[in-house]
Amino acid sequence: MVKSTRSSVTSVMKTKLRKGAWSLEEDQKLIAYIHSRHGNWNWVVTPKAAGLLRTGKSCRLRWLNYLRPGIKHGNFSQEEDETIIKLHQQLGNRWSTIASRLPGRTDNEIKNHWHTHLKKYCLKKNNILQETETDDPSEDDDLLLSNLQKPSNVNANSSPSSSSSSRGDPAGEIYYNQTIEENDGSSQTYVELQRLWDPVPASFPMEGLYGTTTYTLASYYDAGDDVSAYLLMQQNEESV
């Protein structure tokens, strides 16, 4: 029988557990709780302590893959792609080990990126190598990898971060001068939640679809224990 049927988990299950995408409010609660614990918390008690109807596992995953400070979202650089491919050749599907070599990237994100982009690239590369054994394969490498960097659906008005922005999962996303009202009806200014944890920089660069953009902190609101902190990011400049 499955060992992971824990009493603590099942007790939570008796209440109505939420599943699926995390809401902004849930993210805020989780960040607030973790923030208040100063690096000392337990995933099993976290949902109850934070006022969340989630399992500890779900909280852990949300934190590690999305809310944790330093997490990079959006396109992988060519260097990152090359590193992943190289490490995958050496290590196989040991995503967490691979992730440990790519600062800011999570095992889940690398795994997804592999299955959706790099696996195809490797197959294509192998085909090319078989067809042109005498050619210099490095040229094909560069061409294929540079193609990987190009967004498939270029839209001048789209968010600079990943396509998940359109899934009603705003936390961690940064929009150009947008407010939540423009997106989901809330009157709050759009947030970049993970900055709650780090000392807030006056400005910071973020890699997007079209190059690195420097964002400048426009306003900051911290409601203390209730921990609702909002950051308005303004697009400062953009390099293509």
Partner DNA sequence: AAACCCGTCAACCGCTTCCTG
Partner DNA sequence: TCAGGAAGCGGTTGACGGGTT
Query: Would you tell me which residues interact with DNA (CB under 7 A)?
Result: 2-4, 6-8, 18-22, 42-44, 54-58, 60-62, 64-66, 73, 93-97, 107-109, 111-113, 115-117, 152-153, 162-164, 166-169
Closest CA to 161 of 80, 40, 58, 72: 72
| Nearest-angstrom CA–CA distance, 61 and 27 | 12
Number of neighbouring beta carbons within 10 Å of residue 66: 21
Q: How far is the CB of 175 from DNA (least distance, A)?
A: 14
Strands (E) in the chain, as ranges, are 203-208, 211-222, 229-238
| Nearest-angstrom CA–CA distance, 185 and 145 | 39
Which CB atom, from 90 or from 236, has the smaller least distance to DNA? 90
Closest CA to 159 of 179, 176, 172, 180: 176
Which CB atom, from 97 or from 146, has the smaller least distance to DNA? 97
Q: Is residue 232 within 8 Å of residue 219, measured between CB atoms? A: yes
Q: How far is the CB of 54 from DNA (least distance, A)?
A: 7
Q: How far is the CB of 123 from DNA (least distance, A)?
A: 12
Burial 29-52 (b: 16+ CB within 10 A, else e): bbbbbbeeeeeebebbebbeebeb
Q: How far is the CB of 232 from DNA (least distance, A)?
A: 22
Which CB atom, from 37 or from 219, has the smaller least distance to DNA? 37
Helix axes 119-131, 78-91, angle to 10 degrees: 80
Q: How far is the CB of 132 from DNA (least distance, A)?
A: 24
Which CB atom, from 86 or from 236, has the smaller least distance to DNA? 86
- Residues facing residue 208 across a β-bridge: 211
Which CB atom, from 16 or from 19, has the smaller least distance to DNA? 19
Q: How far is the CB of 135 from DNA (least distance, A)?
A: 26
Write out the two tokens for 140. 């094909």
Which CB atom, from 61 or from 217, has the smaller least distance to DNA? 61
